[in-house]
Structure 1
């Protein structure tokens, strides 16, 4: 009888031990999965909170035939420089002629370009800080802005008459410069400005800016880009200026990065 009780006690002890072991292991697995799911949620939230463009560099609006303008952009029948897109706006990813900065090799346009009257104000794209203002080969400047916690650089390139300096805090929409007079002689007195997003080092990767629009302006901006292209082609009497079927989103012919 004593042997039976001793054997039963051993079985109970072993069973309890196994229950404890499996219980601890089960809790560890559950806790790991819980933490892993939490991390995934944090990653998703970080993505949702990524710095976004809340303002374009220029004022863009629907084309008004009475004023002959689309926001800051003035419609014109004047000619455009050879080997450029004959338009007031050039998409990200458009094949364009090279320049002295890349030994005149044709390339994909890494920065959407706006052609606007001289004196047109240029606005900050994001809420953030001015982190660099390099002078360009063309003698004008590029203003680099960075948002809190972001590794992306948001730039307005080819600008003059700067209103900010490195270290300044800016809000999207703040006036930071004017469009450049670079090549104005070939644009019949019009200036230009480009917008871009840079990621990484030397050379950086350029990203499609219109894929980074804040929800507060996204639909309106993309609609105005589409209207600008359509209205410009109608105004110039040439429906081949843009190939809308090649767009991945309005303003971008690709969402792949462009190096350089």
Structure 2
């Protein structure tokens, strides 16, 4: 009887050891083949989607240039909000194209302009480019601000940069054309009375990149605005008596001399 009990005890011990081994092996393979956690998967998915998305298919579109641009009127020396002047302005341009090669200086290397740059009279009102929600209003190195607006369902950030007297805050809903600020005095040169303003489209990434904004014009303004940009630059060259200010051979779309993303 004692031998039988001892036999059962040994058998039960072997069964227990076998079960423990099976559980240990199963646990090892589970841990080894465990999928990435949800946060990792989500991050990877967002990163992949962002890098593969062709932003030209993004539904967000610019419905306002940010300032008013029109055909040049010699009587007023204005083209919308722009004032034609003989005062000194950077690169001899009051409308600098996206992608324009800014010459090197003693302090900075040459670089491509990541945002169309405008010089306009101080006090000029700045308007929202798009319908959307104010994403951020960061203060810039230049002691002015950037109003960044994002439309619903879009990965793109639309910037009205180098502005002062900001009239909106983060979270506000805006419509294209709403007055949101004024042009900044930053960059005002030689008592010209002109301030600086830039528009941009920022595409996410690390680091983020700017892209040509005139590829994202809403159909309601596209044809008219592109014609006005071309006419504006021609009128400016005629006013300045210099037909070489703009190199038309480089233009890929009025307002841009490149479609390559520019970091910054």
> 1: distance between equivalents of 2:247 and 2:241?
15
Structure label with greater radius of gyration: 2
TM-score (norm 1): 0.77
Residue pair 2:87, 2:190 contacting (<8 A) in 1 also: no
Alpha-carbon distance between aligned partners in 2 of 1:174 and 1:107, rounded to the nearest angstrom = 32
Aligned position for 1:95: 101
Out of 52, 55, 72, the position equivalent to 1:63 is 72
Equivalent residue in structure 2 for 1:251, among 234, 250, 255: 255
1:121 maps to 2:125:
yes
Matched residue SS, 1:61? strand
Q: Deviations over 1:49-69 (max 9, x none)?
A: 610000011000000111110
Q: Which residue of 1 aligns with 2:43?
A: none
Shift of 1:79: 1.8
- The one-character-per-residue Cα deviations of 1:118-150 (angstroms, maximum 9, x if unpaired) are 000000000000010111111101110000000
Q: Which residue of 1 aligns with 2:220?
A: 216
**Can you give the 5+ residue segments of structure 1 that lack an aligned partner in the other structure?**
1-45
In the alignment, which residue of structure 1 is the partner of 2:182? 178
Asked if 1:111 corresponds to 2:115, the answer is yes
Aligned counterpart in structure 1 of residue 203 of structure 2, from 186, 199, 215:
199
Structure 1 stretch 187-196 or stretch 232-241: which is displaced more? Answer: 187-196
- Map of 1:148 onto structure 2: 152
Cα RMSD (Å) of the superposition?
Answer: 2.0
Q: Which runs of 4+ in 1 moved over 3 A?
A: 46-49, 97-100
Cα-to-partner distance string for 1:73-127 (whole Å, 9 max, x where unaligned): 00001122xxx32111000000114799xx6222100000111000000000000
Give distance in 2, aligned partners of 1:86 and 1:116. 13
Q: In structure 1, how many angstroms separate the alpha carbons of the residues matched to 2:228 and 2:188?
A: 25
TM, length-normalised to structure 2: 0.76
1:156–1:99: structure 2 CA closer, same or farther, 3 Å change rule? farther
Helix, strand or coil at the partner of 2:182: strand
Q: Per-residue deviation at 1:200?
A: 1.1
Counterpart CA distance in 2 for 1:98 and 1:138 is 20
- Structure 2 CA distance for aligned equivalents of residues 176 and 97 of structure 1: 32
The aligned residue for residue 75 of structure 1 is: 84
* CA distance in structure 1 between the aligned counterparts of 2:207 and 2:56, rounded to whole angstroms: 25
